[in-house]
Structure 1
Amino acid sequence: MTDTPRARLHDELSMASRRYLAAYVLFNQALADHLGLHPTDVQCLSLLTAAPGPLTVKQIAEMTGLTTGSATRLVDRLERGGYVVRTPDQQDRRRVLVTPVPDRLARVAAVWDDLGEAWEELLDEHTEEELEVITRHMRRAHDLSHAQMQRLRSRPKPA
């Protein structure tokens, strides 16, 4: 790209995105430390609570990019902590579903609630139209990230 206002905005957005993503990873680590969990466990809980229903360990592995063995150990940790339960799938007794435990997730929600006011204030600085743009961008970035993860996982690792 040439040195145009749009090119400068792309560069600025790229740098801001890198800082945001790094800050989020570090925030996730701080949250996990505060809760006595592994960072991947915190993200798995987030994915479980955002899912329309219970997930299998295989689905958790696919969503996180973990092997099924690593996903099983992750679910084991969450189950020992009381955050999830494993239950037989009523439609297919061979499958086991992982379901979040609402009462235990209240511990995580309490931390989010404590931090949430500052996020609300940040969002309140934006118009409804800006919030729509941000939301659309986040949804599209989510989809692109998943596609890029699949792309990376399918490539041989560099020597």
Structure 2
Amino acid sequence: MAEVPSDVLERFAWYAREMSALTVMFHSRVAEHMGLSATDEKCLDLAMRADGALTAGRIAELSGLSTGAVTGVIDRLERAGYVRRVRDPHDRRKVLVEVTRQNAEKFAHLFEDALASVEEVLSGFTPAEIEVLERYNKASIDVFRARVVKG
């Protein structure tokens, strides 16, 4: 592995912190429109991006929250009508969390500007540059998840 010069590390740490701050502010605003806390909205986002219903344990793994905290999140999301608890058809002892689609579609417009921003930025890069950016982003997500979220 190559050594990263301190000035490069400092710049990229600043970029990450700035993007993180902007992302938190964006999701706080989305959550407010939805009548949720930022944590509840992000857990809902994780559930919406999953391939099907999730267990509370899986939401805890993905979010880095404790299972107790996730139970509270699910309770609030269920009361607000964003998710529902359903029995696992393969194991009736398990409970799954399923996103209610009508609510997911109701707030899709809140993400249109964010998607347009991504498109605007990516349009300034060549396909080869996009491959490098994608590799960087995937590696950042994997390392950050392993070191910070999973602890």
Q: Could you say whether these structures have the same fold, taking a TM-score greater than 0.5 normalized by the shorter chain as the test?
A: yes
- After TM superposition, the structure 1 = structure 2 runs for residues 6-155 of structure 1, keeping only pairs within 5 Å, are 6-149=5-148, 152=151
8 Å CA contact 2:27–2:41 kept in 1: the answer is yes
Seq. identity, %: 36
Question: Structure 2 vs 1, CA of residues 114 and 150 (structure 1 numbering), >3 Å: closer, same or farther?
Answer: closer
List gaps (5 residues or longer) in structure 2. none
4+ residue runs over 4 A deviation: none
Q: CA deviation at 1:40?
A: 1.0
Greater RCO between the two (CA within 8 Å, min separation 6)?
2
Judging changes above 3 Å, is the alpha-carbon distance between structure 1 residues 23 and 113 closer, same or farther for their aligned structure 2 residues? closer
Larger CA Rg, structure 1 vs 2: 1
Please give the alpha-carbon distance, in whole angstroms, between the structure 2 residues aligned to 1:89 and 1:114: 36
Local SS of the residue matching 1:95:
strand
Query: Gaps (5+ residues) in structure 1?
Result: 153-159
Whole-Å Cα distance in 1 between the matches of residues 19 and 50 of structure 2?
24
Quote the offset at 1:151 in angstroms: 6.1
**Deviation at residue 20 of structure 1 after TM alignment:** 1.3
TM-score of the two chains, using structure 2 as the length reference: 0.87
Q: TM-score of the superposition, structure 1-length normalised?
A: 0.83
Question: How many residues end up aligned between the 2 structures?
Answer: 148
